[in-house]
Structure 1
Amino acid sequence: MSHISVGFSLNMFRAVFEKVRDTLQIPILPKPYSYQGGSGMSTVTITLKGKARLENGTVDFIAPDRLRISELDIVFDELKLTIKLDIDEIAFGDECIIQNPINEKCIVNVPKKSIFEANPDVVIKFNLVPLVPRVELSFDLILDEKKTDGVPSHWAITGQPDLPDIEIDFADSLGDLIQEKLTQAIKDIIPGNSSFERVLVQKIRSFGEFVRNLLDVGDDIQEWAQRTLLNEIGLGNIIIGAVLDYYQDKLNATLFKIPNPYPVINVGKLKQCNGLEISLPPVYVEIDTIQAKVTDDYLFVNIEFSDIITKTLKGVGT
């Protein structure tokens, strides 16, 4: 039994990685996430839409059988957050807010009014790109040997994704920005007469508390925003899935492939001294196994050939 070994340098893999990396676009498609706000007083719908690309990143060989891609930056070209609130209607009015202390007659009366009658009542949109300053992805590819069926069949070295890890940083101002925008959007719904605002504040205590109740969060809107984006909308999983799916589609998860049986001699002709030609039919040798291993600088593929020749030489024109 004979064998050959083929080596691929780490620098070669890094060059291939950069070409694959630079062609990837990550779409973040809008998939609305909805839930009931505090005490059922609102329906909250959150949608995220955008697109991202990859920058930087390093590739290393980790003996005996891993390729590690680390510190891969996710750069957002677009990331738009939309929050919609469908708030239960609030009716108030025919209420005296300023009364004469002497005769108890009403000085300022608020006429009857209903607010939050639309659906949705509040829609805010803003750009999240400056509020997500860092997204970094790392993952391993575990080398595996696989034989595929077909004519011809193939032996392949594949890389199976493992240990994906993503780190997403959010600006500390994210929660405050959401609260400010929602508060202003609610105030914009209130009729221009300031008396309505005073009556509404009596009912809801404060706009800040009202917004938090609508979202069904405690005092920390920042924590709610991060949890919603990461766990409910799944921003990290969207990115990981897109990168790994792209790797699967682009490379078919295959790092090295060789046909089996392997053509040792292709079809051709050999001219003899007497001028006659010999036709050389193809000769194939079966591959028993292949094995991959890595060092710090190289990926080595060892190919073990069988002693079985599937087709032999045949002379023509003797």
Structure 2
Amino acid sequence: MYSYLDITNNEFEYLQKAVRTGVQDYLLKPFNAEEMLTMLERIKPKLPVLPQESESAELRGQGGEVLHSRAGMPDLGHLRDAVVLDLRMKDSETLEEVRKAIRQLSKYKWGDEYADAMLMGIVSLALSFASERGIPYDRLWENGGDNSPYERLRELDSWEAAEGWMLALYRKLIQLMENMRPTKASNLFVAAINYIEEHYADSELSAEQVSCGVFVDPSYLRRVFRKESGFSIVDHITHIRMKKAKELLLKGNRKLSEIAESVGYSDPNYFGKCFKKRFGMTPTEYEQLKKR
């Protein structure tokens, strides 16, 4: 079993549990694409051969969507960005992101080693998020005793069951988050989030402007933002802009330059590059994919 656990230096209890489940490697948070690729190279000999690009382009996921050659499998980096930020903001899109990832994986046969590894990667996002916020490991499940996440997954027998189990896990995490008492830092974080939501269309929006908007020192807000979410303020500004851009693309009948300007990009070409870096496809490709 190979999994990509996203744990901090002090989470030894989670590391011990991971070793018992057969985890091959782990990443310290925050990690970047280069670190992920390096780790994958280390365990590559133990992973199954994946479909070639020409084959992936022809595969269809549930719901009849044609899977893009780079979107044909879950991107754990993007999923982590979306889930962690959405959970921290109590965003309802968390469950949809998880559901989408599992349905992309369902093109593999149930029990496939690669699929198992990716499933554990999705579980690890929930575990590390809970750990960082002091939520006990055993509170994420209503029953099941001391069974590890891997053991719980092995008890399932289909992708439908895995989807239901994973969504139940994330619903429980969302519920526990909602019951947590807010702190001074979390209130400041929420205030900064709200400011970004109101001003993301401003092409000049920066960490300094956000800090002025919530009346704190920029360096202090950067520390709070990183501690609360694991991301920088600029990361979140980009996240919100890309999220809004997808919404506008789905509505259709808008020029790319207009959409770019609406989400804070004065240069449509730069917007297109940012979008492709984020989602693995251009805005036009995304729009066409969703119309099919």
Q: Same fold (TM over 0.5)?
A: no
Structure of greater relative contact order (alpha carbons < 8 Å, 6+ residues apart): 1
Higher helix proportion, which one? 2
TM-score (norm 2): 0.22
Question: Which protein is bigger by CA-based radius of gyration?
Answer: 1
TM-score (norm 1): 0.21
